[in-house]
Structure 1
Amino acid sequence: MRQYQLQRLIDQPIIQTSDVNPTIEGFKVLGAFNPAACIFGDEVLLLLRVAEAPKAEQGTILIPLIEEQDGVPTLTIKRFPEPTEPYDPRVVAIQGKVYLTSLSHLRLARSRDGIHFTIDDKPFLFPARMDESYGIEDARITFLEDKYWITYTAVSEHGPGVGLAVTTDFKTVERIGMILPPPNKDVALFPQKINGKYMLLHRPMVSEIGKPSIWLAESADGLHWGNHRFLFGGRGASDFNFAWEGGKIGAGPEPILTDEGWLVCYHGADQTHAYALALALLDKNDPSIVLDRSVAPLLTPELSWEREGFFPNVVFSNGWIQWPEDSVKAGKIWVYYGAADSGVGLAELSKE
């Protein structure tokens, strides 16, 4: 993939946390980042991950989550005394149970030029099921069979799984439910059937044995997935030159079909949890065949707003668009990326 370059179009974030209003009275927005992206009509649409939390109370940890009340999933706030020992402000273990200190949902943003966005005040998808009780995160959008398939990470006390929703107009949305159980995330659907099958990339999470890696799966109906196969993993464990992807790896947006094969954007993280972006190329008729991969990251956290934020040293993409042939930007690929879990940057992918 040496012929590809990924260059920032703008050296400032195009969306910042301060641009987004909280959904809930008494909450504050901690981050607006990691957007899915698509072209819908004459607009570019982003589905932002918006993380919100109750405003702090001194000496107290406030945990927003969905709990069942009279059989109905309902937003609640748990209150616990603040630990006296240092703790992670994002994830806390209290009384033997792990909680997130914020609740994420998906928020729609719209733009005519792909740079200047108007952000809806209300969520597009808000946690509404017990398997989403800790939040909805990091969506991907794939246009397939005349509708937009939205995959997202659904987080609960049982771990992160993969949810699916579909829409045709981005006004109404049908929630299909969980298509891959915990622990799994980073699902990207291919935008067409291959050899009569729906296909997707996903990332099972591992514990004592193995490292996070990208897998391939297929389906006859787009709902029930099987024939899971390892595709590729990080090379940093055996080669220091690839330390940038030695800690974590996962698929980004939906693959794009090119003359050479399926182009895949993916993220890698090193042992310090610094994230970078890279590319892979898969065979167009058999995407289980990896034809090529980046030997070095195409984008790393370099600017202050990419290095400092809610989660520092992160560039993470789960949304890109390819401008249509009738556009003045015909054929250009714009990559939207989350920066430090606090804002959104924009880069352009091009060939030398």
Structure 2
Amino acid sequence: MRNYHLRRLSNQPVIQTSDVKPTIDGFDVLGAFNPAACRVGNEIILLLRVAEAPKARKGFISVPLIEDQDGVPSLVIKHFPEPNEPYDPRIVTIGGKQYLTSLSHLRLARSSDGIHFTIDEKPFLFPARLDEAYGIEDARITFLDGQYWIMYTAVSEHGPAVGLALTIDFKTVERMGIILPPPNKDVALFPQKINGKYMLLHRPMVSEIGKPSVWLAESIDGVHWGSHRFLFGGRGLTNPAFAWEGAKIGAGPEPILTDEGWLVCYHGADATHSYSLALALLDKDNPHIVLDRSEAPLLQPELAWEREGFFPNVVFSNGWIQQPDRGDEPGSIWVYYGAADSGVGVAELVAE
């Protein structure tokens, strides 16, 4: 694999939380981050994760979620007395049941230059099913078969699952439902069939045995998935030099086909929950074969806005764009990344 590195195109975020208006009256936007990315005509489209929460009420915890109301999934807000003991403000356990204190949806942002974005005021995808009751998070976009496939994390009391939606124009969208049951996330669909099959990367979540790892799956229709197999995991358990990916690992945007094979961007997290970005290379015809991986992170949280925010010390990518070729030179790859769950940065992937 060629020697790649990531060069920030801006020392400031291209999108900040303050750039996004709340969807619902009486709510605050807590974060705008982790965008999927694609090119549509002359525009670059980002599909932001926007986390919103009801304005704080003194002495109470307010929980927004989708519940069945007379057979219709509807937004409700529950209020619980604030615990006397310290608690995680993002996720709370009340009466033995866990709740998120914010609700995420997906919001479109558009740009002609990839740096300056106009953000839609209304959601593109808002939680609307009971299996999305706690929110919709961290989408990936792949253009395949003449349409855009949007894979996203659908969160409910049963855990994170993987949902699929399809669009041809980002004006209308069709939900296809859950394609991988909980607990699972970080799904990236390959942009072409391989050996006649749809393929995707995913990350089953583990508990007592094992660590999070990247898996490969196959499908004949893009909806029903099987032939699951382990692809790669974090190396920090056996080698301290890889502590940066020792606690968590997961796939980022859709793989990109290069002359060397399928290029995969992935994230790793260390024991302190600091997230970094790295690359893997998979065989072109047999992507279950890992040809190479980064020996060190390509991007780590270093700038103040990457280290401080709703969830500190995070750079997390689930969207990148191939720029057009320049004569005989292939176009570079722009990597959009969420920073501290509070904004969006962009870096250029450079090969030496």
TM-score when scaled to structure 2?
A: 0.99
Alignment of 1:40-189 (within 5 A): 40-189=40-189
Shift of 1:149: 0.1
| Aligned counterparts of 2:337 and 2:88: Cα–Cα separation in 1 | 24
Alignment of 1:317-328 (within 5 A): 317-325=317-325
Percent pairwise identity? 80
Amino acid at match of 1:113: D
Report the counterpart of residue 208 of structure 1 in structure 2: 208
Amino acid at match of 2:6: L
Report the counterpart of residue 217 of structure 1 in structure 2: 217
Report the counterpart of residue 227 of structure 1 in structure 2: 227
| Aligned counterparts of 1:286 and 1:252: Cα–Cα separation in 2 | 19
| Aligned counterparts of 2:83 and 2:224: Cα–Cα separation in 1 | 43
Contact 1:2-1:294 within 8 A present in 2 as well: no
**Structure 1 residues 6 and 190, CA, compared in 2 at 3 Å: closer, same or farther?**
same
Contact 1:267-1:276 within 8 A present in 2 as well: yes
| Aligned counterparts of 1:343 and 1:20: Cα–Cα separation in 2 | 10
Shift of 1:177: 0.5
| Aligned counterparts of 1:141 and 1:197: Cα–Cα separation in 2 | 18
| Aligned counterparts of 2:327 and 2:135: Cα–Cα separation in 1 | 36
| Aligned counterparts of 1:212 and 1:329: Cα–Cα separation in 2 | 37
**Structure 1 residues 346 and 334, CA, compared in 2 at 3 Å: closer, same or farther?**
same
| Aligned counterparts of 1:79 and 1:65: Cα–Cα separation in 2 | 11
1:350 aligns with 2:350: yes
Gaps of 5+ in 1: none
Amino acid at match of 1:227: S
Query: Secondary structure of the residue that 2:150 maps to in structure 1?
Result: strand
1:339 aligns with 2:339: yes
Provide, for residues 304-344 of structure 1, a one-character-per-residue CA deviation record: whole Å limited to 9, x for no partner. Answer: 00000000000000000001237999611000000000000
Gaps of 5+ in 2: none
| Aligned counterparts of 1:65 and 1:302: Cα–Cα separation in 2 | 34
TM-score when scaled to structure 1?
A: 0.99
Provide, for residues 22-65 of structure 1, a one-character-per-residue CA deviation record: whole Å limited to 9, x for no partner. Answer: 00000000000000000000000000000000000000000000
**Structure 1 residues 173 and 328, CA, compared in 2 at 3 Å: closer, same or farther?**
farther
| Aligned counterparts of 1:219 and 1:237: Cα–Cα separation in 2 | 32
Shift of 1:299: 0.2
Contact 1:323-1:329 within 8 A present in 2 as well: no
Report the counterpart of residue 305 of structure 1 in structure 2: 305
**Structure 1 residues 170 and 126, CA, compared in 2 at 3 Å: closer, same or farther?**
same
**Structure 1 residues 47 and 104, CA, compared in 2 at 3 Å: closer, same or farther?**
same
Query: Secondary structure of the residue that 2:140 maps to in structure 1?
Result: strand
| Aligned counterparts of 1:279 and 1:153: Cα–Cα separation in 2 | 22
Report the counterpart of residue 9 of structure 2 in structure 1: 9
Report the counterpart of residue 269 of structure 1 in structure 2: 269
| Aligned counterparts of 2:239 and 2:123: Cα–Cα separation in 1 | 43
**Structure 1 residues 325 and 2, CA, compared in 2 at 3 Å: closer, same or farther?**
closer
Query: Secondary structure of the residue that 1:18 maps to in structure 2?
Result: helix
| Aligned counterparts of 1:108 and 1:40: Cα–Cα separation in 2 | 12
Shift of 1:124: 0.1
Report the counterpart of residue 248 of structure 1 in structure 2: 248
Provide, for residues 271-291 of structure 1, a one-character-per-residue CA deviation record: whole Å limited to 9, x for no partner. Answer: 000000000000000000000
Query: Secondary structure of the residue that 1:334 maps to in structure 2?
Result: strand
| Aligned counterparts of 1:207 and 1:5: Cα–Cα separation in 2 | 33
